[in-house]
Chain A
Amino acid sequence: EIVLTQSPGTLSLSPGERATLSCRASQSVSSSYLAWYQQKPGQAPRLLIYGASSRATGIPDRFSGSGSGTDFTLTISSLEPEDFAVYYCQQYGSSPWTFGQGTKVEIK
């Protein structure tokens, strides 16, 4: 199965700053079948990005995704207070679908 490794484990930033989150796959993710989710405490994950770079319905344009092959990035251009959360990547190019271990974006 494809193992996804996210870095850093924790990102300490201030509101208004740019956040860059990395997701690296143990083998190439076919057709850029990679998604990003946001999870806040006590809540279910929320789909942000699919197909590596397509924003899900209702997701603000400060969230963007990029990458292909084994290296993918989620960028939040200017952090809003509600963006402090844990972010997961997920690949769906090869069964079983797998998730990364998460990156926590915390307030500095």
Chain B
Amino acid sequence: QVQLQESGPGLVKPSQTLSLTCTVSGGSIRSGGYYWNWIRQHPGKGLEWIGYIYYSGTTYYNPSLKSRITISVDTSKNQFSLKLSSVSAADTAVYYCARDPRMGFFDYWGQGSLVTVSS
């Protein structure tokens, strides 16, 4: 059974960079066949797809966030990471990592990590 777990600071100051890591267990990122995604949910709101990475390092980002996002992968640690630069209060959200079987939907999700942007 695949499991995903987000980790990272819960509080980030405005204008700084938000950094989160997703650790995958029960399956290898290196095996291919999946896109590894970040999705966020603003408090009490809907869901927003941020972007994905393939094990090879190929990335695809939501154009609305593309200028501020970097998603990277470390296959040796079975992890992938999100960096979101120049954050503001509007980036306060629960951030989820999720697996996509290269079809566009998300079959496994992490439990989510609340990140608050505040000074």
Contact = CB atoms under 8 A, between A and B. Distances in A.
B96 interface: yes
A31 to B, nearest CB: 10
A99 B46 contact: yes
Interface residues of B, number: 20
Interface in B57-108: 60, 62-64, 96, 98, 103-107
A92 B46 contact: no
A88 interface: yes
Interface of B: 45-49, 60, 62-64, 96, 98, 103-107, 109-112
Interface of A: 33, 35, 37, 43-47, 50, 56-57, 88, 90, 92-93, 95-102
28 contacts: A33-B104, A35-B106, A37-B106, A43-B111, A44-B96, A44-B98, A44-B109, A44-B110, A44-B112, A47-B105, A47-B106, A50-B103, A56-B107, A88-B46, A90-B47, A90-B106, A92-B104, A92-B105, A93-B104, A96-B49, A96-B64, A97-B49, A98-B49, A99-B46, A99-B47, A99-B48, A101-B45, A101-B46
